[in-house]
């Protein structure tokens, strides 16, 4: 790709971007959200057209005007959000749009042969007859990869492929990528996870503000340099220093015998004012289920939740909110935001009662005032409070979710994957915000799959495995190895 430029009305998304991908290599593409990675990849995949520049494959210039063109040229995209039809089985998804046909009818036998041939080449196994909706995230990702390869893709773009995978699944994915490399495929690997770059990338290209800042061999490009190139400034303290919990700090949240079988059973823990308790564990261990049950998003079978020494009965999210709980979900688009509503409307949604006047009408001016205040405090980058949330970047969307919950006087904040898929700058802003909440006497429970985040932003760490809390660490006593061991059950 040479000299690629793309502008949207009012925004210059890319200017003069050039990058080269060799056969048999993994090129990592990193950059903050809004740096232009997605736009660049959408141009390669034919989902967007560049204003300037050219693309050549095997030395020959090509025109990519549609996703179909890209497919024909051997470009396969594996988006972070999968494009599978949940009701169709693995086999049908792999061959979707490419079904072998004989005499106008689907040729089931040829389909099975073709799909298993692809899987054999990849060295992976999948239950082909199972609907995609009943497969794990890792298996769904394998379907996406198999789908791309069944169309003979030689250039494979993976967008945050490890975001939802467990460590074991990540290892399997990396082994698969190594095999693809060996077979001569070129892979563009987009990731926010610094620690995995040295393991997987041959070269690393950093994008910032729509331009390539730097490209180096991965061995010559340590994560600290990568981060510096991404943000354009040295980012020495990734996590803000947390103040220790005061010895006389009262217990704010107390959870006893919380169960929602089969996901979680007999959960006991408490969080004090000014304390962050991190919930570590593998995907599916039950961490999300714990916070959902506390918030009233799901109804627990048994258990008591006590807030500020008052036992509360939570049977629905509005009970939780009334009791002083703010629940920031992991899936901001699916559960946190109404994308078709404005920033203002999303911010005030959970606390509209604050904005109604005596006639029971919403005071638009007070609403706008509050929204502007939150936008300012959280540095939400939006042209106006009236912008639709759909048009904001991931990090700014997450800030809108936070703004929504900061409007209330919550005592307990449940953060589920608070920084998933957002850029480094927005991450540290969110950490700082968590620290401010602590200073105001709040208690925080944080679920995170990013080990450095759990280790760096928790006073105590509870490890969840198979629906129960199996181990507790203090911040000082926790090492990555020990936490992983407890989470996987590798060592008692």
Partner 1 sequence: MSAILKNLWLRNTVLVIVVAIFMTIVNMAAKGQFLNPRNLVTVLEQISYNCILGVGQTFVIITAGIDLSIGSLVALTGVVMAQVANHLPFDGAPLVLITLLAGLAVGAAAGWINALPVVKLNLPPFITTFAMLEVTLGLSYIFSGGQPVAVNNAIFSSIGTGSIFGLPVPVIWMVVVVAIASVLLTRTRFGRYVVALGGNEEAARLAGIATARVKTMVYVISGMCAAIVGFLYMARFSSGSPDTGTHDELLEAIAAVVVGGTSLMGGQGSILGTFFGALLIGLLYNAMNLIHVDSYLQKVVLGVVILLAVVLDELRKRYLAKA
Helix H segments across 25-160? Answer: 37-44, 67-72, 90-94, 108-122, 137-150
443 burial type by CB count under 10 A (0-12 exposed, 13-18 middle, 19+ buried): buried
Give CA–CA dist 76/68, Å, rounded.
11
Q: How far is the CB of 322 from partner 1 (least distance, A)?
A: 8
424, 235 contact by CB (below 8 A): yes
Q: Scanning residues 223 to 252, which ones bind partner 1 (CB under 8 A)?
A: none
Q: How far is the CB of 215 from partner 1 (least distance, A)?
A: 32
68 burial type by CB count under 10 A (0-12 exposed, 13-18 middle, 19+ buried): exposed
Question: What residues contact 391, with CB distance under 8 A and at least 6 apart?
Answer: none
Lookup: tokens for 482:
């020990």
Determine if 123 is a binding residue for partner 1 (CB under 8 A): no
Encoded one letter per residue, x for contact with partner 1 by CB under 8 A and - for no contact, window 386-415 reads ------------------x-----------
415 vs 473, beta carbon nearer partner 1? 415
256 vs 351, beta carbon nearer partner 1? 351
Determine if 491 is a binding residue for partner 1 (CB under 8 A): no
Q: How far is the CB of 48 from partner 1 (least distance, A)?
A: 12
Which part of the chain contacts partner 1 (CB under 8 A), choosing from 59-67, 238-246, 314-322, 479-487? 314-322
Place of tokens 């608070």: 418
Residue 444's H or E segment, with its range, is strand 443-447
Encoded one letter per residue, x for contact with partner 1 by CB under 8 A and - for no contact, window 321-340 reads xx----x-x----xxxxxxx
For 436, other C-beta atoms within 10 Å of its C-beta total 13
89 vs 387, beta carbon nearer partner 1? 387
Judged by CB under 8 A, the residue of 156, 297, 410, 454 near partner 1 is 297
90, 124 contact by CB (below 8 A): no
Give CA–CA dist 41/67, Å, rounded.
11
Encoded one letter per residue, x for contact with partner 1 by CB under 8 A and - for no contact, window 1-30 reads -------xx---------------------
207, 30 contact by CB (below 8 A): yes
Which part of the chain contacts partner 1 (CB under 8 A), choosing from 16-24, 111-119, 313-321, 456-464? 313-321
Determine if 260 is a binding residue for partner 1 (CB under 8 A): no
Give CA–CA dist 95/314, Å, rounded.
46
3-state secondary structure at position 150: helix
Q: How far is the CB of 28 from partner 1 (least distance, A)?
A: 31
154 vs 404, beta carbon nearer partner 1? 404
367 vs 429, beta carbon nearer partner 1? 367
Place of tokens 């990731």: 191
Encoded one letter per residue, x for contact with partner 1 by CB under 8 A and - for no contact, window 344-363 reads -x---xx-xx--x---xxx-
Q: How far is the CB of 321 from partner 1 (least distance, A)?
A: 4
Which part of the chain contacts partner 1 (CB under 8 A), choosing from 164-172, 342-350, 370-378, 420-428? 342-350
Q: Scanning residues 422 to 451, which ones bind partner 1 (CB under 8 A)?
A: none
How many residues interact with partner 1 (rule CB under 8 A)?
31
270, 255 contact by CB (below 8 A): yes
Give CA–CA dist 56/39, Å, rounded.
18
131, 86 contact by CB (below 8 A): yes
Helix H segments across 281-419? Answer: 287-295, 317-322, 343-348, 364-377, 394-406
Q: How far is the CB of 361 from partner 1 (least distance, A)?
A: 4
160 vs 345, beta carbon nearer partner 1? 345
85 vs 316, beta carbon nearer partner 1? 316
Q: How far is the CB of 473 from partner 1 (least distance, A)?
A: 30
3-state secondary structure at position 135: coil
Q: How far is the CB of 298 from partner 1 (least distance, A)?
A: 11
20 vs 66, beta carbon nearer partner 1? 66
**Nearest Cα residue to 71 out of 13, 141, 12, 148:** 148
> Which residues are near partner 1 by CB under 8 A?
8-9, 295, 297, 316-318, 320-322, 327, 329, 334-341, 345, 349-350, 352-353, 356, 360-362, 364, 404
């Amino acid at each position: 790709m040479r000299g690629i430029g793309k502008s949207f009305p009012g925004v210059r998304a890319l200017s003069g971007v050039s990058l080269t991908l060799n056969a048999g290599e993994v090129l990592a593409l990193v950059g903050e959200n809004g740096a232009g990675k997605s736009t660049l990849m959408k141009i390669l995949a034919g989902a967007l057209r560049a204003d300037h520049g050219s693309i050549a494959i095997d030395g020959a210039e090509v025109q990519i005007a549609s996703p179909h063109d890209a497919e024909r040229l051997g470009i396969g995209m594996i988006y972070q959000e999968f494009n599978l039809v949940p009701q169709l089985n693995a086999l049908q998804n792999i061959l979707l749009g490419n079904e072998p046909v004989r005499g106008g009818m689907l040729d089931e036998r040829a389909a099975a042969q073709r799909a298993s041939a692809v899987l054999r080449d990849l060295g992976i196994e999948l239950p082909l007859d199972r609907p995609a909706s009943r497969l794990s995230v890792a298996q769904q990702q394998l379907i996406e990869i198999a789908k791309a390869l069944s169309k003979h893709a030689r250039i494979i773009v993976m967008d945050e492929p490890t975001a939802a995978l467990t460590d074991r699944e990540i290892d399997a994915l990396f082994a698969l990528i190594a095999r693809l490399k060996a077979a001569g495929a070129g892979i563009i690997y987009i990731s926010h996870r610094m620690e995995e770059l040295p393991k997987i990338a041959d070269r690393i290209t950093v994008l910032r503000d729509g331009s390539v800042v730097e490209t180096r061999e991965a061995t010559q490009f340590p994560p600290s340099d990568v981060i510096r190139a991404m943000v354009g400034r040295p980012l020495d303290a990734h996590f803000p220093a947390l103040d220790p919990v005061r010895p006389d700090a009262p217990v704010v949240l107390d959870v006893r015998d919380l169960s929602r079988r089969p996901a979680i059973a007999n959960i006991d823990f408490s969080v004090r004012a000014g304390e962050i308790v991190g919930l570590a564990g593998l995907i599916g261990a039950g961490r999300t289920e714990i916070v959902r049950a506390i918030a009233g998003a799901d109804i627990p079978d048994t258990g008591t939740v006590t807030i500020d020494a008052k036992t509360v009965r939570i049977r629905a999210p509005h009970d939780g909110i009334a009791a002083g709980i703010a629940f920031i979900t992991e899936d901001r688009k699916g559960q946190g935001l109404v994308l078709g509503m404005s920033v203002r409307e999303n911010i005030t949604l959970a606390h509209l009662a604050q904005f109604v006047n005596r006639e029971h009408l919403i005071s638009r001016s007070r609403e706008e005032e509050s929204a502007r205040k939150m936008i300012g405090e959280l540095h939400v980058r939006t042209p106006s409070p009236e912008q639709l949330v759909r048009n904001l970047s991931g990090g700014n969307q997450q800030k809108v979710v936070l703004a929504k919950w900061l409007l209330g006087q919550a005592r307990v904040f449940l953060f589920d994957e608070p920084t998933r898929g957002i850029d480094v700058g927005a991450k540290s802003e969110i950490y700082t915000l968590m620290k401010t909440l602590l200073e105001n006497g709040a208690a925080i429970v944080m679920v995170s799959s990013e080990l450095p985040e759990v280790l760096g932003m928790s006073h105590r760490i509870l490890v969840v495995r198979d629906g129960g809390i199996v181990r507790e660490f203090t911040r000082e006593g926790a090492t990555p190895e020990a936490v992983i061991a407890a989470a996987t059950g590798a060592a008692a």
